[in-house]
Chain A
Amino acid sequence: MEINHTNIDKVPIVSVSGRIDGATYKDLETILNELIDQNNSEIVLDLQGVVYISSVGLRVLLAAQKKVRPKNGAVKLVSLQPFVREVFEITGIIKLFSTYPNQREALDGIKL
């Protein structure tokens, strides 16, 4: 798994590629926790390159969402690939996130 982090209009964009599984989830957890600790309440998570996610990965995203929600923030999911989207859907977790087809539309929904 690879993780790249940039900022657009002061909003952190985290782009992930590869597999979010038992071997890799901690790296994603670490960067999301760092961003939240730095008082970022809006985080755009681009999953265009992610082909696989297991429940440990879902738990990381759920935990991040739970931390930013009290700050009126959100983890916004971008470009879910078919298998990953299906995993979000069949677990019901998709209902807890807003999803966007691209980064621009995710950013458009953020009031700066």
Chain B
Amino acid sequence: MEAMENEQEITVAATIEQIPAISDFIERLMSHAGFDLRKIMEVQLAGEEACTNVAKYAYPGKEGTIHIVARVHGERLVLIIEDHGIAFDPTTHIVALSQADTKDRPIGGLGIHLIRCYVDEISFEFRDGKNVLTLVKNRA
């Protein structure tokens, strides 16, 4: 198969109301690149959870933005989510998942767990004053 390259980006206000715009952005790119619906929903979920955490916690008491770059490179989708908010590394956040503490588990933990479940790779760096979260989804 010929390697397919496509890159798009979007900047939205860091609010939960922007989740549909982010989901539509992900769906358009992945659908165009031929990913199946299931994979698209998995990435939408990971993207929503990451952006929800930014909307809730990154900019306390002030407005901010989320910048997303989505790149399809061959059989991989790379989603880079950036914000200028409080530094937070979700890749090192400890998520407790035992049944006993399910009721009291912080919701942020749920979201981070879902991100980890539904992407193939996750990495984070704090660079130039920005949180940069990179999520990778393989086609197969």
Interface residue ranges, A against B (CB under 8 Å): 19, 21-23, 51-52, 54-56, 58-59, 62, 66, 83, 87, 90-93, 95-96
Interchain CB contact under 8 A, A92 and B23: no
User: Which residues of chain B have C-beta atoms less than 8 A from A83's C-beta?
Assistant: 38, 41
Interface size on B, residues (CB 8 A): 24
- Which residue on B lies nearest to A84, using beta carbons? B41
Count the A-B residue pairs with Cβ separation under 8 angstroms: how many?
61
Interface residue ranges, B against A (CB under 8 Å): 16-17, 19-20, 23, 38, 41, 44-45, 48-49, 52, 55, 97-99, 102-103, 107, 110-111, 113-114, 117
Interchain CB contact under 8 A, A54 and B52: yes
Interchain CB contact under 8 A, A59 and B107: yes
User: Which residues of chain B have C-beta atoms less than 8 A from A96's C-beta?
Assistant: 102-103
Contact check: which of B23, B41, B98, B113 meets A91 at CB < 8 Å? B113
| Cα–Cα distance between A91 and B114 once the two chains are bound (Å) | 7
Tell whether A92 pairs with B99 under 8 Å between CB atoms, given A52-B41, A52-B44, A54-B52. Answer: yes
Contact check: which of B20, B23, B55, B110 meets A58 at CB < 8 Å? B110
